A and B are shown apart, each in its own frame.
Chain A
Amino acid sequence: MSWLAVNFPQLQLDSYCQASAASPETRAIVVVEEQRIRQCNAQARAHSIRPMMALSLASALVDEVQLLDYLPGFEAQRLRELARACYQYSADIVLWPPCGLLFDIAPMLKLYGSLTEYLANIAGVFKAQKVQANWALASSTDAAKIFALYTAEQAPELTLFSTCEATTKQRLAALPVTCLNIPAQQIKQLESLGFTQLGELFALLVAHTQRQELARRLGYPLVAYLDALLTSKATKLAYFVEQEYFEQSLMLEQETNLTSVLMFPAKRLLASLEHFLTLRLTRAQSLQVEVLNRLGAVARQQVLHSTEPERSAAHWLSLLRLQWERQGLSQPVMGLRIRCQHTLSDAKQNADLFVREQGRTDAAQLLNRLQAKLGEQNVQRLRAETNHQPERSVSYQSLQQLVQLVPSTLADKLSETSSRRTSKTLPNNSAFTALRPNILLQQPRVLAEAVRIIHGPERLQSGWWGDEVFCRDYFVARNQQQQLLWVYRDPEQTWFVHGLFA
């Protein structure tokens, strides 16, 4: 067994530097987690900042340092992208979270012939992705991991090492006990017994009685772990597997710039999509549609959304038709690709076999068609906001946003605090118990006519923390045409009309 372990010490940081590749890095940048440094770039290191250092100490060492919060989700995603990229060159990859990969080399060497070429390919991937990598070879995964973290080498030099058990054991023997991947308490225990190097522990594993003594005092799992380090037994590992998703493309015999012609391949692709989804009992909520040009490259990419998850080909086809009718084709195309990456499993539906809905579109379908016809951004919902300023007390949201979970609001927090015995707060002024006009003008306009005040004032003053400071006294007024207006007066005594009561 031969294993290659690669560790990416600065995975998140490398991704940022990649984004702003234009300017060379002159500042010290660090990634921080809970007031400790997790990753630091070269400039930071030059100022003696090291990982695991406290943030307060680091900021005392250098005057200006840019702080980034640690994003474990982002790193996990990057790791998967790297694995996906390496998948082209190596088949058996194991994810080693939070920022490492393990490669089973033995099967690949048969294909590549030499270790050097294999390593060069993998190295190329990392170079293209611009990530720093620490490499290590060993006969077992645990040993390889330890080497990658503590005695990493450069890629070309790796070829000097053989992955046989004896070499691994020899290299491990020189390492300190702190390298072991065991609970910190156990490491402390080993140190407290005087063990400093792994070699001392390995020496005890040879004779049976000594092995027993060690196991009795420190536990059999530890002994088992030490054994696993040295031998290259096959262990059960979860290999990296690409997610299954639908992707098919069809090319036309001739170029065309008529959308009606594209409907034929669309029909076929959507039919196989329906088949794909039916087999898996899943539904799709969005599709990526790419029209390809003569060379097979993507000419335009679109996303089709459905409010409800659907697998019916007819449904998607009608949405697609509507969208193409609106947009048309700007250049001649010759192919179509449809990809569906996210699917949702079927919800149980008790469908009545005998009910036929004729000519009735339900609300969801209507929304779909409106969105397809008018454009996604132009179909919106209203939402009430808890803001004192009238024009901000209501907001517009695209339909997609509503699908996300509403985060815990202040109301939830308040209700949980009042369930304890707090000092009671006075009832708050909810917008729903406020006198508001049916029609609110987008922009208040200056009052230009004579009016009679019949109700008021209502004083609204807030927003001091932003640019939207407002200070208004609102009144209800009747004008010459007997319309009821919602007017206000600002501190400079200028009157504005803000709305109309129907």
Chain B
Amino acid sequence: MQHDYAELHSVSNFSFLKAASHPEELVIQAENLGYRALALTDECSVAGVVRAYAAIKEHQLTLRLIVGSSLHLEEDIELVLLCPNRAAYAELCGVISLGRRRCEKGYYQLFQDDLIPLEAVFLLWKPHRNLTKNKAVSEWLTRYFLGRAWLLYERGLGPWESLHGKAYLAHCEALSVAMNLPMVCAGDVHMHVPQRQALKDVLTAIRLRTSVQALGHECAVNCEQSLRPITKIQRLFSTQMMAETIRIAMACTFELSSLRYEYPAELVPAHLSASKHLKNLVEHGAKKRFPQGILPAIQAIIDKELQLIKEQAYEYFFLTVHDLVQFAKAKRILYQGRGSAANSVVCYCLEITAVDPEQIDVLFERFISKERNEPPDIDVDFEHQRREEVFQYIYQKYGRDRAALAATVVRFKFRSAFRSVGKALGFPETQLEACIKDVDRRDKGKTWVEQVRAQGFMAESTMSHLLISLTEQIIGCPRHLSQHVGGFIISAGPLSQLVPVENASMAERTVIQWDKEDLESLGLLKVDVLALGMLSAIQRCFTLIARHYGRQLTIAQITAMGDDPKVYGDLQRGDSIGVFQVESRAQMSMLPRLKPACYYDLVIQIAIVRPGPIQGDMVHPYLRRREGKEDVEYPSEAVRAVLARTLGVPIFQEQVIKLAMVAAGFSGGEADQLRRAMASWKRSTRLYAFRDKLVNGMLERGYEQVFAERVFQQICGFGEYGFPESHSASFAVLAYVSAWLRHYYPAAFYASLLNSLPMGFYSASQLVQDAVRHGVQVLPVDVNQSNETHCLQRIENQWCLRLGLQQVKGLSKIGRARLLAKRPTGGYQAMREVLLSGLNKSDLAALASANACAQMSGDRYQARWAMLSDLHHLPLFAERTEKSVLKLPALNDYRALEEDYQSLGLSLAHHPMALLRREGCLHKDVRAQDLCKVAHKGLLSISGVVTGRQAPGTAGGVTFLTLEDETGNMNVIVWQSTARAQKTSYLHAKVLRVMGILEREGSVEHVIAGRLEDLTGAFSGVSVASRDFH
């Protein structure tokens, strides 16, 4: 039942730290109270309107949503702006952008003059409490906004109102009559129900960086700033004012769904239509991609795609992305499209993706479908170190006002929420930190609430109850906007007419006020420009190979050579450090089991080692069937067509969708909704909605109940963690290429990886050790031999890896440049020359620490001693070669190792464990390379440097440790009880001895830890950073 009232002034939690309710909550509550309309007017922002709009659509509410924004001008004037139509909306976005672009992130500044050009917006003005100010403002309003301006009257029932309320109302009424400004009422709503008062006060306390007890008058005086029942509103305001709200609401007919986006038109040549241009490009590309001719099946798909693109008017989107990748090609920036775009043959022809649709089963509906009625999603990875060039190209081509990044909403998560609420409630920081530290958010058995209570954190006091309940409320509230990783919006006209643009915290970057989800809800297109480290590494490798081996290679060439058994041989042995996607500990233990032998095996390998398939119990059946230990059966031909290539086990998301389509009769679009339900965080509820349809659909088509239930269980099991096949296929290309390069050109490959750090799973130290194990000679940093980056050098007919100056910690960029610039052709001959090259003290110290002057000065101590002398600056002494009379202590191996790690992060001399072994500290410990000699289930002890600690959330409290010694890596499994009992060793040992039992499955070996002994003391000073709890 709808009443005659519309709320015209409400603020959601997207007015950061000011209001206490989500936009969704506001609209739902407004509907419950029978409002006819609600204006969401966040402060100088429209960040929340899309969510309100989506909520209304989803719950099919009859409430009308009005878009607006509240502003506080610099002249101390309070206004609420509302949008009656599209033109007004564009004006509002323009004004918001203007105010925001003037200031740093999070602030805005607007003046009266900024509003004068606005011709379509409605203005609601709240007269000031200092009555003398109001005459001038009302005159200004009538001069510029006659017919579109109202006097806003609100009642908060606070102390000020009880004293001055009558006088204020009389003043407003007189003003309204005198200046012909109709009066309208509103609620100044900051929360959807009065019960949110506590949260509102806490947010205020967080914003003012104090506690609620110290807020004084800043905390809410009552709960009147909430959505009020109609009966109360009728008592508070006159009928005329309430009627005015309806009049205004009815005049506001702007709907967000009318936002349509015009693409930049400059991509299409003048004489052609967008459709024709796209078709030409696709045909041209198809000839290049399929030189042997196009199969009829493929041609049919191309036609179907182009038809759909034309119907949905997505041509410009593809043209925009095509333009981007052409730029990258021209600049020789490696790129690869992935995600659902890899399902499109058109994308393959446009050279956006690199996955041959003949190789994988393409599911076009995954990419676009009529039922989806949503724009396609194209992600393009670029070399991570050159992605900025792509950004700059976009900004240059389209201009800063037509291109901007999408935002990400940073919300309160458990830690920040608990800490902020705790401080606001007055708890001491040390206590809060101690409590947070002990909560394991990945513990599936206990929620954080239970864990906090279990700590006996506080006795049953009001404050502790409040802390927990308010933390629960605040989790998920937005804190601020941040820039999205790489999602760009590009439009034909100024972007600020579509959505407000504000400054990001990075210089020269602008962000729109909506995030990815908002853009999807509204059907606006975004291009994801992402970065991938491996692309940089591959590009570098190609450059090195061209330079040193004289061979020009491309990704396409390597894949065209077919499956190389030698390369797959490496992978089958689990020898994959540095190979894209299959180098992690988990992948390395899977490789010897799965034994990939062809491209498609790699595609499966990448997709299968993920929590989804593991939890969905897909892995073991697949392995068994692959090894021939189990028979493969298909209940029907349709199912066989879908699952044959994965031996009857659904591993990819697309297979699930296809199954739903062929076995349960889902249409393409419905199946895609299923996929989205699987991927969303509300999947548990949404997914169950599909259960009946799926199971019944299958039963109707003659499948057995058991089979249907099992499929559904598998869907639930791997839901959000399942990999799309196209994604996996794109990655498999890169995985194969990196493995190939690693096999045939190891020196170049490792050099490229090292030059592309940070990326991947391993540290420089581990990569270098792996290189050495593969027969690459690694040469140390040297002032005379090294370049800035790691490079190859020819020593005795072999290409070796020379470490570059960039590896030296503490050597500045300028220092490196200077050292290289001043280096004589024959190299520096004496320390004195190095000292005279103009490097500053810290750079010299860094060089000495890295032992880069070893050829000239002996050991590090001597080098430093020489560097500290200042005699070389004095001309009289310049000729004298100073021989120091001092006898400095000698450098022992331990110190040398320590300095190596501190200065370079790696050591080419001894491994720490080798030193300990030499000293006899590790008598019975088995080395990594000798593990194969120990029997299965045999007792043993091993020791090594801890280089990795992982506790995957899905592993039930088990931690995987990686120990490294001079011969390789070893995997240790630590059960939770073992970890708890031996906390000290487990948590902070850098060098660990483990006594336990060896388990062997095939060629995969693990040690189950029994007793842990901390050996760090035996070797103090090793600062190998362990990759902890990734």
A61 at the interface (CB under 8 A from B): yes
Q: How large is the interface on B (under 10, 10 to 19, 20 to 34, 35 or more residues)?
A: 35 or more
List, in ascending order, chain A residues with CB within 8 A of B222's CB: 459-462
**Per a CB cutoff under 8 Å, which of B109, B218, B888 touches A414?**
B218
User: With the chains together, A258 CA to B78 CA distance in Å?
Assistant: 73
A124 at the interface (CB under 8 A from B): no
A427 at the interface (CB under 8 A from B): yes
> B861 — nearest CB in chain A belongs to which residue?
A194
Given contacts A459-B224, A474-B162, are A210 and B885 in contact (CB under 8 A)?
yes
Q: How large is the interface on A (under 10, 10 to 19, 20 to 34, 35 or more residues)?
A: 35 or more
Given contacts A60-B983, A410-B218, A462-B220, 15 further A-B contacts (CB under 8 A): A32-B430, A56-B433, A196-B889, A209-B885, A210-B885, A217-B868, A218-B868, A386-B218, A388-B159, A410-B215, A433-B164, A435-B163, A458-B159, A460-B159, A462-B201
Q: List 12 A-B contacts (CB under 8 A).
A: A35-B430, A60-B987, A192-B848, A194-B895, A388-B159, A388-B217, A410-B216, A413-B208, A434-B160, A464-B466, A465-B213, A465-B466
User: With the chains together, A410 CA to B164 CA distance in Å?
Assistant: 25
List, in ascending order, chain B residues with CB within 8 A of A67's CB: 430-431, 434
Given contacts A59-B434, A413-B208, A423-B18, are A466 and B462 in contact (CB under 8 A)?
yes
> B45 — nearest CB in chain A belongs to which residue?
A423
B44 at the interface (CB under 8 A from A): yes
The answer to whether A213 and B430 have CB atoms under 8 Å apart is no
Given contacts A435-B163, A474-B162, are A423 and B107 in contact (CB under 8 A)?
yes
The answer to whether B160 and A433 have CB atoms under 8 Å apart is yes
Interface flags for A260-275 (1: CB within 8 Å of B; 0: not) read 0000000000000000
List, in ascending order, chain A residues with CB within 8 A of B201's CB: 462, 464-465
The answer to whether A59 and B463 have CB atoms under 8 Å apart is no
Interface residues of B (CB under 8 A from A): 15, 18, 43-44, 72, 76, 78, 103, 107-109, 129, 157-164, 194, 197-198, 201, 208-210, 212-224, 425, 428, 430-431, 433-434, 437-438, 462-463, 466, 845, 848-849, 860-861, 864-865, 868-870, 884-886, 888-891, 895, 983-984, 987-988
Interface flags for A463-475 (1: CB within 8 Å of B; 0: not) read 0111100000010
> B129 — nearest CB in chain A belongs to which residue?
A427
User: With the chains together, A429 CA to B438 CA distance in Å?
Assistant: 42
The answer to whether B217 and A193 have CB atoms under 8 Å apart is no
The answer to whether B430 and A55 have CB atoms under 8 Å apart is yes
> A426 — nearest CB in chain B belongs to which residue?
B78
> A475 — nearest CB in chain B belongs to which residue?
B162
A387 at the interface (CB under 8 A from B): yes
A422 at the interface (CB under 8 A from B): yes
**Per a CB cutoff under 8 Å, which of B198, B208, B870, B988 touches A57?**
B988
Interface flags for A423-449 (1: CB within 8 Å of B; 0: not) read 111111111011100000000000000
User: With the chains together, A96 CA to B907 CA distance in Å?
Assistant: 44
List, in ascending order, chain A residues with CB within 8 A of B18's CB: 423
User: With the chains together, A268 CA to B431 CA distance in Å?
Assistant: 56
> B463 — nearest CB in chain A belongs to which residue?
A465
6 closest A-B pairs by beta carbon, nearest first, are A386-B216, A434-B159, A458-B162, A424-B72, A217-B868, A194-B889
User: With the chains together, A423 CA to B109 CA distance in Å?
Assistant: 9
Task: Give the distance to chain B from A189, nearest Cβ to Cβ, in Å.
Answer: 8
Task: Give the distance to chain B from A304, nearest Cβ to Cβ, in Å.
Answer: 35
Task: Give the distance to chain B from A428, nearest Cβ to Cβ, in Å.
Answer: 5
Task: Give the distance to chain A from B1028, nearest Cβ to Cβ, in Å.
Answer: 13
Task: Give the distance to chain B from A28, nearest Cβ to Cβ, in Å.
Answer: 13
Given contacts A196-B889, A204-B886, A460-B222, are A59 and B437 in contact (CB under 8 A)?
yes
The answer to whether B72 and A213 have CB atoms under 8 Å apart is no
Task: Give the distance to chain B from A108, nearest Cβ to Cβ, in Å.
Answer: 42
List, in ascending order, chain A residues with CB within 8 A of B463's CB: 465
List, in ascending order, chain B residues with CB within 8 A of A410's CB: 208, 210, 214-216, 218
> B44 — nearest CB in chain A belongs to which residue?
A423
A360 at the interface (CB under 8 A from B): no
A325 at the interface (CB under 8 A from B): no
User: With the chains together, A431 CA to B159 CA distance in Å?
Assistant: 8
The answer to whether B430 and A385 have CB atoms under 8 Å apart is no
A236 at the interface (CB under 8 A from B): no
A356 at the interface (CB under 8 A from B): no
Task: Give the distance to chain B from A200, nearest Cβ to Cβ, in Å.
Answer: 7
Task: Give the distance to chain A from B548, nearest Cβ to Cβ, in Å.
Answer: 37
User: With the chains together, A56 CA to B983 CA distance in Å?
Assistant: 13
Task: Give the distance to chain B from A432, nearest Cβ to Cβ, in Å.
Answer: 10
User: With the chains together, A380 CA to B1018 CA distance in Å?
Assistant: 68
User: With the chains together, A56 CA to B434 CA distance in Å?
Assistant: 7
Question: Which residue, of B162, B201, B885, B891, has the highest number of chain A Cβ atoms within 10 A?
Answer: B162
> A457 — nearest CB in chain B belongs to which residue?
B157
Task: Give the distance to chain A from B80, nearest Cβ to Cβ, in Å.
Answer: 13
**Per a CB cutoff under 8 Å, which of A213, A430, A460 touches B885?**
A213
User: With the chains together, A474 CA to B222 CA distance in Å?
Assistant: 12
Task: Give the distance to chain A from B757, nearest Cβ to Cβ, in Å.
Answer: 26
A72 at the interface (CB under 8 A from B): no
The answer to whether B889 and A217 have CB atoms under 8 Å apart is no
User: With the chains together, A57 CA to B434 CA distance in Å?
Assistant: 10
> A458 — nearest CB in chain B belongs to which residue?
B162
The answer to whether B218 and A428 have CB atoms under 8 Å apart is yes
List, in ascending order, chain B residues with CB within 8 A of A127's CB: none
Task: Give the distance to chain B from A429, nearest Cβ to Cβ, in Å.
Answer: 5
> A204 — nearest CB in chain B belongs to which residue?
B886
> A218 — nearest CB in chain B belongs to which residue?
B868
Interface flags for A380-400 (1: CB within 8 Å of B; 0: not) read 000001111000000000000
> A476 — nearest CB in chain B belongs to which residue?
B162
List, in ascending order, chain B residues with CB within 8 A of A456's CB: 162
A216 at the interface (CB under 8 A from B): yes
Q: Which of A357-406 contact B (CB under 8 A)?
A: 385-388
A421 at the interface (CB under 8 A from B): yes
**Per a CB cutoff under 8 Å, which of B44, B161, B861 touches A193?**
B861
A315 at the interface (CB under 8 A from B): no
Interface flags for A185-222 (1: CB within 8 Å of B; 0: not) read 00000001111100010001000011001101110000
List, in ascending order, chain B residues with CB within 8 A of A420's CB: 107
User: With the chains together, A194 CA to B164 CA distance in Å?
Assistant: 80
The answer to whether B217 and A431 have CB atoms under 8 Å apart is yes
**Per a CB cutoff under 8 Å, which of B164, B215, B438, B891 touches A59?**
B438
> A191 — nearest CB in chain B belongs to which residue?
B895
Task: Give the distance to chain B from A451, nearest Cβ to Cβ, in Å.
Answer: 17
